[in-house]
Amino acid sequence: MKQTTILNRVESVGIGLHKGEPIRIILEPLEANSGIVFYRSDIGVTIPALPQYVVNTQMATVIGSGNESVISTIEHLLSAINSYGIDNLRIITDSAEVPVMDGSSASFCMMLDEAGIRELDAYKKVIIIRRDIEVREGDKFSRVTPSNNPTYHFIIDFAHPVIGRQEYIYEFSKKNFLEHIARARTFGFLKDAQVLRSMGLALGGSLDNTIIMDENKILNPEGLRFPDEFVRHKILDAIGDLCLLGMPMLGNYDSYAGSHKLNHLLTKEILKDPQNYEVKTFDRVVQHEKAFA
């Protein structure tokens, strides 16, 4: 299997979750071995999508090359890119955020479908997990284990009547992503949104791009897209966060109450020790091609 990029340049406009301002986003093709890179057109700064550039994980995954040169909320877009098997791409924004769109990856999947996929004259590189690696924070954890058929297994447990305990096992593939994960939206609580807005954050959050709950119920009039949309969105986030490894991962992912922070710590832990993983080109791992189809 060869490396890929997009066939055509595409663009769109959406609202930024935190500042609430319109953001223009452009996807452009790149040559082989370029990786996924972000470019802030308003300040002329390029930021590679790699773990060493992660600067904040409190409310979203944020990458940057300095205090002012940051791009936030990259995980939903990266989740689509990862699931489409795209290895090389330039993402241009004119703001410090990727637009939130409808709070899921669906709009980014539509952009990638419009752009089309182009194979490049270089074999795809894969990071193969060779041993169990885990990071913990109290009873919360994120872990990867060796596997020839990547799956994402996530459990959440919220003391809220609408959410409660949810568990989902997802077998990684583009088809499964489009059918079961891509449309799952981000979610939050009304009381938290009010606090964030008083701090000048979440100004773009609305019922159009976030599942919002009060103490007892969902406020979105259309309800949920899946009965367990909450845990599916956590898997969506994890796929995007693990895209920061810089290449597709061959291994299983498991998490209990995981977060952007734990996912980032996990990518750092994987890459910290060369005995944790092996990087191979796809001409030598053809038997696993189905996982990345």
Tokens at residue 123, please? Answer: 């074999």
Give 266-273 contacts, CB < 8 A, sequence gap 24+. 266/133, 266/134, 266/135, 266/142, 266/143, 266/144, 266/242, 267/51, 267/241, 267/242, 268/51, 269/133, 269/134, 269/135, 270/127, 270/129, 270/133, 270/144, 270/245, 271/51, 271/245
Instruction: Tell me which of 233, 260, 264, 288 is the catalytic residue.
Output: 260
Tokens at residue 139, please? Answer: 């009873």
Which pLDDT tens digits describe the chain residue by residue (293 residues)? 899 999 999 999 999 988 889 999 999 999 999 999 999 999 999 999 999 999 999 889 999 987 779 999 999 999 999 999 999 999 999 999 999 999 999 999 999 999 999 999 999 999 999 999 999 999 999 999 999 999 999 999 999 999 999 999 999 999 999 999 999 999 999 888 778 777 666 778 899 999 999 999 999 999 999 999 999 999 999 999 999 999 999 999 999 999 999 999 999 999 999 999 999 997 765 444 555 55
Residue 260 designated active-site: yes
Per-residue pLDDT tens over the stretch 5-47: 999 999 999 999 888 899 999 999 999 999 999 999 999 999 9
Give the burial string for 93-130 (b: 16+ CB within 10 Å, else e).
bbbbbbbbbbbbbbbbbebbeebeeeebebbbbbbbbb
Tokens at residue 175, please? Answer: 């088809």
Q: What are the structural domains, with CATH classification, of the chain?
A: 2-125 (3.30.230.20), 128-280 (3.30.1700.10)
Radius of gyration of the chain (CA): 18
Those residues with Cβ within 8 angstroms of residue 195's Cβ, 6 or more apart along the chain or in another chain: none
Cβ burial, residue 2 (10 Å; 0-12/13-18/19+): middle
Per-residue pLDDT tens over the stretch 250-284: 999 999 999 999 999 999 999 999 999 999 997 76
Backbone angles phi, psi at 77, to 5 degrees: -65, -45
